[in-house]
Amino acid sequence: MLTNGKKLDGRYILREEIGSGGFGAVYRATDTRFRGNNQVAIKQIPLNNAEAAESFRHEANLLYNLSHPNLPKVTNCFQEDGASFIVMEYISGDDLSESLKKGRRYTVAESLEIADAVLDALEYLHSFTIFHRDIKPHNIKISGNGKIYLLDFGTAKGSFDETTLPRNGQSITGFTPFYAPLEQVLRVDPNSYLLLQSLETPFLEEFLNWKTDARSDIYSLGATLYHLLTNNPPEKATATTRAFSVWSGKPDPLLPCRSGNPEIPDRLAQILHRCLEIEPEKRFQTAADLRRELKNSAAANSSLKVSEQLTAVLPAAAQNQLNEEANLMRGAVSQQQADLPSEPILRLSFDVENESETEKETALRPIENLIGERKLDQPNPKSKMPFYLGLLILAIISGIFAGWLLWQNSAPTPLPIAEKPAAKNARNLSYSLLVQKMRDGKKFQEPFESSGQEIFETGYRFQMRFVPPADGYLYLFAEGVNERQEKVFNLIFPTPQRNDGSAAVSAPRQYETGWNQFDGKTGTENFWMIWNKTEPEIAEKARANAFQNAGVVADGSLKNQLKDYLLTSGKNYVEASKETDKKITKVDFEGDGLVYLIHLEHR
């Protein structure tokens, strides 16, 4: 344990220990290099050999380059006095464990909101093959402004190779009892291994061959939600005791969550217990899968409550009609929730090693995924007003049409305009935007479709959607400049979470990017769209380079080649037109390749 007042790395003065566990100790410290809000959190990780220290260095570099709204930013890492330290943004506020100790039981709505934020962060971490491995109420904090943070990801498993760890040896990351899955416990707890070995079961050997992965985090989040909803920590039903009972032919000691809280809907209870399956293949396989199920569960439950409240005051005939409408609405809302984005894109401006601070800005940044339940509209009493309003509109339209006919008859006949002859390989690519208005950082109104021709406000969130003209390869790069007025290119599509990381697309399927946000200086944002019948070499190399550098084309030579390719390609006939009724922009062109610059304006 380090003493308060100790100075680390020549700049951080320790103020107090704010946490400890299998991972090490966490301290609140003051960064003397800055004034004002200079509080940081420093995680101490003891390392016992050079191999572990080298692994830590590689992972720390990876963590430093991460950025997500529900994760504190890693700002520094260093090694001193035989230990390694990770410096992170300090998040004030209470963690969930404090309120649970006071006897609070979180509502279903509160728990789902927390789960959605945590899963948003997990999707992002998992996209870089980083697994948290210590999700618990203590590591989830709600700041003073109500923002939810997942803490302690600074000791997650990223580049650490578990195959190098001795069987039953102590991992530098450890685990937390009650919340850790069996595949994680067995790697760091010899007593659990010896207990289960006494059963002489083949399951044990299978677990020893499993590495911790996304499903391990899903188990821990399930245990956390179980605790939040029931206020009963699963301390009597750890993964080891549960496996011992089940593999011995005895009942699972984990009590059904509805026995601790009857208000938990059946569907949500089923989801929680699937998260807590002992065997990983029986759990949800990805954070995106779990997030989608929770949203569908929330939507169905919300629709059901509306229906129940209204039928209480309606006669039987009206109740039957309402039940039919509610079933249709429930299905529509569930589909809308399923269609909402569940995966964030790669960061648009990413800190790369040895890059100066001035090269880390861009006018766009990734944002939280669209979250929340859609409210069902209450039926309004019927009125005759729409009928009379329709008659008035019809009269006005008739008058305008009559005037137009009169003008046509009196106006001179225009000369015919020569049309461009249709090309044999004429093609058409369409794109559109789904836009979410924001007010004071919160969602305002429902998202709306846009052709991309409007002027958007700073802070608005948007998602680009494309329909390719034929089977081929599709790329989208965001162009920006840093403070030295050097061009930077960020890959928006594909990403590891979009189209499985592949640029190969098929028509007439629609493809979409992750969610982005207008930010930084107002003005014009440039997006380069590339479609080609065959795989374009430069674009594909840029994609591969961006995947290695968290979204940014970092190789200087390749960046120049990409710039030249964008400026010199796609010289064939190109014409764009907006279809207002369909909320799309159509790009007509000739040939087997297209390079098209999309301008989006924000003020």
Under 8 Å CB-to-CB from 132, ≥6 apart: which residues?
A: 122, 125, 139, 150, 152, 153, 156, 217, 220
Inter-residue contact 368 to 438 (CB < 8 Å): no
494 prior amide bond cis, ω within 30: yes
Separation of alpha carbons 429 and 24, rounded Å: 54
- Length of the chain (residues): 603
**Structure tokens of 270?**
């089923």
Looking at 134, 189, 213, 351, which residue is catalytic?
134
Count CB atoms within 10 A of the CB of residue 459: 17
Output 372-380 pairs: Cβ under 8 A, ≥24 positions apart. 372/443, 373/298, 373/299, 373/302, 373/333, 373/337, 374/299, 374/333, 374/336, 374/337, 374/446, 375/302, 376/302, 376/303, 376/306, 376/329, 376/333, 378/310
Whether residue 137 contacts residue 222, with contact meaning beta carbons closer than 8 Å, is answered with: no
Residue spans of alpha helices (H) in 212-341? 214-230, 239-247, 257-260, 266-275, 287-311, 316-339
- Catalytic site residue 152? no
* CB-based contact 461:438 (threshold 8 Å): yes
Q: How far, CA to CA in Å, does 300 sit from each of 236, 258, 330, 335, 546? A: 32, 18, 6, 10, 39
Q: Which residues are catalytic?
A: 134
